[in-house]
Amino acid sequence: MLISDKWLSHGSAGTFDLIDPSTGLRVTEVPMGGPNEAGKAVAAASAAAPAWRRFPPHKRRDLLLRLADLISANRDLFGTVAAVEQGLPGGSIYARHCAEWVRYYAGWSEKIHGTVNPSYPVDALAYVVKEPYGVVAVITPFNESLSALGMKVAPALAAGNCVVVKPPEQTPLQTTLFARLALEAGIPPGVLNVITGGPAAGEALVRHADVRKVSFTGGIRTARAILKAAAETVTPVVTELGGKSANIVFADGDWQAGARLSAMNACVNIAGQGCMFPTRLLVEESVHDAVVEEVRRLLAPVTIGDPADDATEMGPVIDRTAMDRIMGVIERAATHSKLIVGGKRRGGDLADGFFIEPTVFDDVDPDSELAREEVFGPVLAITSFRDDAEAVAIANGSEAGLAAYLYTDNLRRAHSIARELEAGTVGINGMTTVPPTFPFGGYKQSGVGREGGQDGLLEFLQTKTVYVPLGEA
């Protein structure tokens, strides 16, 4: 844990065994902080906040650019760490994503400005300024913890806030490395602090009276607890809470590309543990059989195994608890849906790890658990539809609304359906990683607030109006 410029190898809440999910073996022991360490970290951030707020914007920019360069220079090390603690193949790409976010928000540091507003009926000089909150608590997810640091910490620091990060218990090492590089880049002590720990540490941060804003990515159950705790101090919270994204494939579109998008993201990338992955594949009836066969063909040759091996395409899920939960979903789904691919744990040389085969169900009832609840594992649900109205109704049937996708060559249909979909991001004929330039967030129970673009910066700024009367009423 990092408090100011001091590294702590012990915590008041004991220790946590970090397990390599590809082998099931203990890697190391991680200190667990609690309310004591959370309080000290917030105190360190509070002490650093006045100076960081007044830190010249162009110098704040330069420090963040230096941090981005260090992240890029250490991308192979980040990849190794991600393989060990997360079972993630090709993890170095997330260092590139993180560096891009840090560079983007570094450029915003000296572009934060206000406005001068007209005043009536009294003549006055009225101007509006944007100011940092002070201390921000950031709670990150296990699946893309490094990317989340770029999405949350970078704009918070660029806006002039100090930050306390609580990484997930399963993947703290990427955050630790990020913090080490931040100190190396010259970011002053106390501006960025890291507390490893469980729910008690997170709750202590959220409840702390000196934490003025919370940014959280994770599950809806944890989000409810955070929102309830934050309500006591009326602390604003930005949340990104996952999804159950639909991918609507029409017969007039590139159905092969649509099949690939869902197959490789819902089942292979990060072992399906992605919040915006298209885990529901909705297919127009006339191309249904062809799409199902294409999904089967795409998944058959996928290489599952050691995440440190360059040939590996798919690694394990994060831990035994997740594996057991996902297998329970698969077993229940098999009673009412048609299993066409996978459905089992990997045995043999991989038996000690938490590997689940890419799993695909067809004829999935839109009202079933599999169609409505986020699995967060390598499971794809396929459902057919007859027309546009039915496709939209099924897509909007989930309480999640993070993302949605559609494939069609009909321009009018594409924009018409995009307008009807209840999702924060809609991809037409493709999907990329989330770039730092546009806002990302959800509708409905997928969260409140946005990350990315100017919207993501404004989440970490509050508005002040200064009013000077120049005349009489």
Choose, from 100, 240, 374, 422, the residue flagged as catalytic.
240
Phi and psi at 12, nearest 5°, equal -70, -15
- Per the annotation, the verdict on 240 as an active-site residue is yes
Q: Are residues 308 and 391 in the same domain?
A: yes
- Give the tokens for residue 150: 């770029």
Q: Judge if 170 and 55 occupy the same domain.
A: yes
272 with 395, same domain: the answer is: yes
Q: Does residue 452 share a domain with residue 421?
A: no
The total of structural domains in the chain comes to 2
Gyration radius of the chain's alpha carbons: 23
Active-site pick, 98, 162, 267, 275: 275
Of 219, 228, 253, the closest CA to residue 408 belongs to 253
Task: Name the strand (E) or helix (H) holding 17.
Answer: strand 15-20
pTM: 0.96
Q: Is the pLDDT of residue 317 over 70?
A: yes
Alpha-carbon distance of 130 to 114, in angstroms, equals 6
Using one digit for the tens of pLDDT, what is the confidence trace for 78-108? 999 999 999 999 999 999 999 999 999 999 9
What are the C-alpha distances in Å from 246 to residues 100, 212, 242, 280, 393?
A: 28, 35, 13, 5, 11
Q: How many helices (H) and strands (E) does the chain have?
A: 15, 22
Residue 428 backbone dihedrals phi, psi, to 5 degrees: -105, 115
Element (H, E) at 29: strand 25-31
Q: What would you measure as the largest C-alpha separation in the chain, in angstroms? A: 85
Mean pLDDT value of segment 145-167: 97
Q: Check: CB of residue 245 under 8 Å from CB of residue 280.
A: yes
Confidence of residue 396 (pLDDT cuts 50, 70, 90): very high
Burial class (CB in 10 A: 0-12, 13-18, 19+), 110: middle
Q: CATH number for the domain including 43?
A: 3.40.605.10
Q: Is 399 a catalytic residue?
A: no
Residues 178 and 312 in one domain: no
Are 109 and 157 part of one and the same domain? yes
Beta bridge partners of 163: 136, 192
Q: Give the domain range for residue 67.
A: 2-241+446-466
- Is residue 315 situated within a structural domain? yes
Per-residue confidence at 472, pLDDT binned at 50, 70, 90? confident
Residue 471 forms part of a structural domain: no
Q: Assess whether 94 and 206 both reside in one domain.
A: yes
Residues 223 and 251 in one domain: no
Comparing C-alpha atoms, which of 272, 290, 237, 253 is closest to residue 370? 272
Same domain, 229 and 177: yes
Residue located via tokens 């914007």: 57
Contact 386, 287 (CB under 8 A): no
Q: Are residues 325 and 419 in the same domain?
A: yes
Is 378 inside any structural domain?
yes
117 shares its domain with 23: yes
Rounded CA separation 156/151 (Å):
9
In the three-class reduction of DSSP (H, G, I as helix; E, B as strand; rest coil), residue 86 is classed as helix
Over residues 329-358, the mean pLDDT reads 97
Tell me what the mean pLDDT of segment 117-139 comes to. Answer: 95
- Pairing verdict, β 403-407 and 400-401: unpaired
Q: Tell me, what's the pLDDT at 433?
A: 77
CATH code, 266? 3.40.309.10
